[in-house]
Chain A
Amino acid sequence: EPEVTQTPSHQVTQMGQEVILRCVPISNHLYFYWYRQILGQKVEFLVSFYNNEISEKSEIFDDQFSVERPDGSNFTLKIRSTKLEDSAMYFCASSDPGYDTQYFGPGTRLTVL
C-alpha cells in the first residue's frame, strides 16, 4: 500500500541553524501539507501546497519557514533559523483531490538545543 515517507526520523540541531525536513508524498496525490505537534499538544496546521505554490498557511508559518517541491517526488519544509520553540514532531501529509482524505507520514522529531 502506498505511504507517505519522511526523513530523517529524528533531527537534532543547534538554535539558529537551518534545517530541511523531507517528505515523499504518495505518488498520485496532488495536495501536500505540513503539520506540527509540540509534545503533549494537539496537531497544528502549518501550510498546504498545490500546483507548486502555497495554498494556505497558518500564523505559525512565518518568514522563517518555507516549502518547496524541488522535483517530482520530494516535498520539503525548511526552517531558516531554528528556535527552541520549534522543537516538535513535524508531519507531512498528502491527499488525492478525488478522495479528500489526508494521509500522514511517520513524522520527523525535531529537537532544537
Chain B
Amino acid sequence: AQTVTQSQPEMSVQEAETVTLSCTYDTSESDYYLFWYKQPPSRQMILVIRQEAYKQQNATENRFSVNFQKAAKSFSLKISDSQLGDAAMYFCAYRSQYSGNTPLVFGKGTRLSVIA
C-alpha cells in the first residue's frame, strides 16, 4: 500500500519570505498523481497544485511550485512571497493512476504559520 509522509508537523515563515514544505511517499507504481491541498481554519480542502508522475517538469501555480524528484520519491511544495492568507494546514496526497477513481492517500499534514 502507498504511504505519504510529511515530516514537518509545523512550519513558520515571515510574510513575503519563501518556505518549503516536505513530502515523501512510498509506492511501487510508476504512474500516479501527487497533490498538495490546503486546509485553512474553515477546514475546507482546497487544491493547491498537482503533478503527474510522467511529467519531468515541475508544476507551478502562481506563487506555488513543487520540486518533484521521482527517483527519490520526494514532492516538496515551495511557497514564494508568503502571505498571511497562506496560513493553513497543508496536506500532501498521492493517487494511483491505475483506474479513474482511485482514492487519495494523504499525509498527516504540515501546519504553516505566517508571521507578519
- In the bound complex, do residue A35 and residue B104 qualify as a contact, i.e. CB atoms below 8 Å apart? yes
Give the interface size class of chain A.
20 to 34
**Closest approach, in angstroms, between the C-beta of B9 and any C-beta of chain A?**
11
Interface residues on B, range: 20 to 34
Chain B CB within 10 Å — which of A42, A44, A56, A107 has the most?
A42
Known contacts A89-B43, A104-B45; decide if A42 and B35 are in contact (CB<8 Å).
no
The answer to whether A75 has its CB under 8 Å from any CB of chain B is no
Using a CB–CB distance below 8 Å, which chain A residues touch chain B?
31, 33, 35, 37, 41-45, 48, 50, 55-56, 58, 89, 91, 93, 95, 97, 100-107, 109
Majority SS at the chain B contact face: loop
Measured between beta carbons, the chain A residues less than 8 angstroms from B97 are 100
Task: Give chain A residues whose Cβ lies under 8 Å from the Cβ of B45.
Answer: 43, 91, 93, 104, 107
Q: Tell me, rounded to whole Å, the shortest Cβ–Cβ distance linking A7 to chain B.
A: 14
Contact B101 A55 (CB under 8 A): yes
Give which listed residue, B43, B47, B99, contacts A107 with CB less than 8 A: B43
Q: Are B101 and A95 in contact (CB under 8 A)?
A: yes
Instruction: Write out the residue numbers on chain A whose beta carbons fall within 8 Å of the beta carbon of B44.
Output: 104-107
Whole-angstrom CA separation of A31 from B93 in the bound complex: 18
Known: A101-B47, A107-B45. 20 other contacts (CB 8 A): A33-B101, A35-B104, A41-B108, A42-B91, A42-B107, A43-B93, A45-B105, A48-B103, A55-B99, A55-B101, A56-B103, A89-B43, A97-B100, A101-B50, A102-B95, A102-B104, A105-B44, A106-B42, A106-B43, A107-B44
